[in-house]
Structure 1
Amino acid sequence: MSVHDEVPGPGGGASRPNAGGGPGGKARFEDIYDQADPRAYFTRLEPLGYEIPQHAQPVFRRAAELRGSAGDAGARRPAVLDVCCSYGINAALLNHDLTMAELYEHYTSRRARQLSTVELAAWDKEFYEQRRRPDAYPVIGLDIAARAVRYAQAVGLLDLGCTDNLEEQPPGPRLSSALADVGLITMTGGGSYITERTFDALLSRAERPVWVSAFWLRTVPFAPIAETLAAHGLRTTADTTRTYPQRRFTDEREQRYAVAAVRALGEDPAGLEEAGLFHTVLYESRP
């Protein structure tokens, strides 16, 4: 695709092997995604150079600003729904004067290692309060990792945390109620594990126009998602002349998987996955 090409609508999608589960060859990190606090998450991912939330920070801030000025006269400020929110990293970068490097430094510091989870949460609450931006947006987090979501809400990163598994069931009462205020859906991870079912469940219960900004791994087709978004009146565009690195591969097996998956989707891994990094494409979906 060329700059800002439209993603195929209904009939233009490709099949998605391993949808809803971890694809063969891709490393899984379940042991760090749902701990009582984020220290293991940052300790494990720092050596891999996990950086996609940092790339997303200016994109999500701009999308939230544009969505907020797009209308809904008289309504409350549109909320941001972060899908696969984990410990609230995107919310931290969206609403606070912080960088991903500073979060790594914070959570891998000597002081952080010495604290209990309760003590760390108290420190984090103060840490984020001191860096809160005056233009902060209400953020709802969605992730099946209950402990991670609970921590993010406890330290003030999420206004509401929900753990509904929309791949298997419709939104529960809390999430359904919260969706009334959602104007922007963001996502930087989870494309290998969730499908169009999650997006359909969210948009089916939206009460105001919803935009979507998603950084999607090149190893997974976005077309099935775009088809579902199109059915809800959203047109998806992407600048595929630019990619955003996610992280380094854990080993050669993971790299072989990624290179093969990208080629299977008709894309060229030269200089990207072949150079040792997962890469994402930014997809923007709007009415």
Structure 2
Amino acid sequence: MFREEEYGMAESGSGGTEGVASGKSRFDDIYDRPDPRMYFRRLAPLEYEIPHHAQPVFRQAAAERAALDDGHPHRPAVLDLCCSYGINAALLNHDVTLADMYERYTSPACQEMSTAQLATQDKEFYAGRRRPDAVPVFGLDVAAPAVQYALEVGLLDAAFTDDLEQGPPGPGLRRALAEVGLVTLTGGGSYITARTFTALLDGARRPVWISAFVLRTVSYHPIVRTLAAHGLHTTLDVSRTYPQRLFTDVREQQFAVATVRALGHDPAGREESGRFHSLHYESRPGTR
């Protein structure tokens, strides 16, 4: 269930931790490769799983948002923030699972291919599994090689590398924002702040919903305030948390346990048991 009052409790004592990733391991090198094989090889031992949990949530949100625009000549597009190689787009619009993608990109046969060969096979792989209810998906990520690959194999309908933490959207992204009806996020909450959401919402031309999975080590409250200033009401799913991945080492676990406690969460059975956990926030116009 969604309960606004529980959201307020969870955010007590949030302080100034907006977008802070200090103490959390970084994986910058897996996003600058020409294809997603290293991404999946590196994350497989850590059991990275948040896109799997987001898959049904994003499908439902995309369907509900599209239903509002019946009669509009163009379906509202989904904008996936921090999209990397288009994993969320693949799961949203195709009959594949995250487990399928791990198996595909870590297989011995896949390792023998060149990037060009892999891209050719990926185009066929995803085209053959395209869902009839597929929606347009735009991707935004500063990792140019990753978004280029996702665009090349057909996972993204448009891709952008604008850094909205540093400046406003460029002409291409500004045009694309006019078609966006749903913004999705998994895992990027440690690195983007309210500045990014302000830039996106300032450029929106259609009612925008936001569906975000955010680590419990990050306060989402500054972003919620920004969304409220743009007329969006945010609710938190307090019925559960969503495991993200195993910790890389004891240092990272100690950071996570201390941080979630400082943010008013209980790490027992979650971070103390060895995994990052995320919360799911939904933001929609008006009140719910």
Shorter-chain TM-score above 0.5: yes
Are 1:259 and 2:272 matched, yes or no?
no
Are 1:182 and 2:180 matched, yes or no?
yes
Matches of 1:55 and 1:26, distance apart in 2: 21
What letter corresponds to residue 96 of structure 1 in structure 2?
Answer: H
Does the 8 A contact of 2:69 with 2:76 survive in 1? no
Residue 187 of structure 1 aligns to a residue in which SS? Answer: strand
For 1:42-72, what per-residue CA distance to the aligned partner results, in whole angstroms no more than 9, with x for missing partners? 0000110000000000000000000011246
Match of 2:108 in 1: 110
Residue 191 of structure 1 aligns to a residue in which SS? Answer: helix
Match of 1:53 in 2: 51
What letter corresponds to residue 51 of structure 1 in structure 2?
Answer: E
Once the two structures are TM-superposed, the CA of residue 134 in structure 1 deviates from its matched residue by 1.0
Residue 166 of structure 1 aligns to a residue in which SS? Answer: coil
Does the 8 A contact of 2:246 with 2:274 survive in 1? yes
Once the two structures are TM-superposed, the CA of residue 208 in structure 1 deviates from its matched residue by 0.5
Candidates 217, 224, 227, aligned match of 2:225: 227
Match of 2:74 in 1: 76
Match of 2:15 in 1: 15
What letter corresponds to residue 79 of structure 1 in structure 2?
Answer: A
The alignment-based identity, stated in percent, is 64
For 1:100-135, what per-residue CA distance to the aligned partner results, in whole angstroms no more than 9, with x for missing partners? 000000001111100011111111111111111111
Does the 8 A contact of 2:19 with 2:218 survive in 1? no
Are 1:4 and 2:3 matched, yes or no?
yes
Matches of 1:185 and 1:105, distance apart in 2: 28
Does the 8 A contact of 1:85 with 1:141 survive in 2? yes
- Give the 3 Å change call, closer, same or farther, for CA 194–257 of structure 1 in structure 2: same
Once the two structures are TM-superposed, the CA of residue 73 in structure 1 deviates from its matched residue by 3.8
Does the 8 A contact of 2:12 with 2:263 survive in 1? no
Matches of 2:32 and 2:109, distance apart in 1: 22
For 1:23-46, what per-residue CA distance to the aligned partner results, in whole angstroms no more than 9, with x for missing partners? 1x2110001022110000000001
Matches of 1:74 and 1:22, distance apart in 2: 40
What letter corresponds to residue 143 of structure 2 in structure 1?
Answer: A
Are 1:150 and 2:148 matched, yes or no?
yes
| TM-score of the aligned structures, taking structure 1 as reference length | 0.95
What letter corresponds to residue 270 of structure 1 in structure 2?
Answer: A
Residue 178 of structure 2 aligns to a residue in which SS? Answer: helix
Once the two structures are TM-superposed, the CA of residue 13 in structure 1 deviates from its matched residue by 8.3
Residue 266 of structure 1 aligns to a residue in which SS? Answer: coil
For 1:228-274, what per-residue CA distance to the aligned partner results, in whole angstroms no more than 9, with x for missing partners? 00000000001223100000001111000000010010110000000
Q: Equivalent residues in 2 for 1:1-287 (5 A)?
A: 3-5=2-4, 7=7, 14-17=14-17, 19=18, 22-23=21-22, 25-71=23-69, 73-287=71-285
- Give the 3 Å change call, closer, same or farther, for CA 82–202 of structure 1 in structure 2: same
- Give the 3 Å change call, closer, same or farther, for CA 137–13 of structure 1 in structure 2: farther
Residue 58 of structure 2 aligns to a residue in which SS? Answer: helix
Residue 188 of structure 2 aligns to a residue in which SS? Answer: coil
How many equivalent residue pairs? Answer: 282
Residue 66 of structure 1 aligns to a residue in which SS? Answer: helix
| TM-score of the aligned structures, taking structure 2 as reference length | 0.94
Does the 8 A contact of 2:14 with 2:219 survive in 1? yes
